Amino acid sequence: MEYLLALMAAGAVGWIWHTNLGVRELATRLARERCTETGAQFLDGTVAFTGAFPERRNGRVYLRRRYRFDFTDGSGQRFTGRVILVGQELDELRLYTGPVPH
């Protein structure tokens, strides 16, 4: 019985890890595409996870995930962008060239 419980827990952890990895890859792709569209250069090649919390939409509960990334506009300055995904849908994607609101 303990073996089955441990196996189920390991499976749940693996499923959550796999899902989060896929969402992070989606956030990275979206950030890279936005930088390309605006003529900015996407730096470091990835996004950084900054937080998550549950959100209810249309009667269902989804995980709202926040990511940040860095980019430059060619001036040599490093700026911050933000991607927010609810489930696997884009909710917000912004490029900030000034102070980033929290």
- Dihedral sign for Cα atoms in the order 26, 35, 75, 82: negative
Please give the helix or strand (H or E) that residue 50 lies within, else none: strand 41-57
pTM: 0.81
Asked if the structure places residue 70 within a domain, the reply is yes
Asked if the structure places residue 102 within a domain, the reply is no
Tell me the residue range of the domain where 33 lies: 2-96
Asked if the structure places residue 55 within a domain, the reply is yes
Neighbours of 65 (CB within 10 A): 24
Asked if the structure places residue 101 within a domain, the reply is no
Asked if the structure places residue 19 within a domain, the reply is yes
User: Domains in the chain: how many in total?
Assistant: 1
* Whole-number Cα distances in Å, 24 to 3, 31, 33: 32, 11, 14
Each of the 102 residues of the chain gets a pLDDT tens digit; together they read 787 777 777 776 666 666 677 899 999 999 999 999 999 999 999 999 999 999 998 899 999 999 999 999 888 889 999 999 999 999 999 999 876 666
Look up residue 59 and give its DSSP letter: T
What are the residues whose beta carbons fall under 8 Å from the beta carbon of 70, sequence distance 6 or more? 43, 44, 78, 79, 80, 81
Q: Which of 13, 12, 22, 11 is nearest to 65 (CA)?
A: 22
Asked if the structure places residue 54 within a domain, the reply is yes
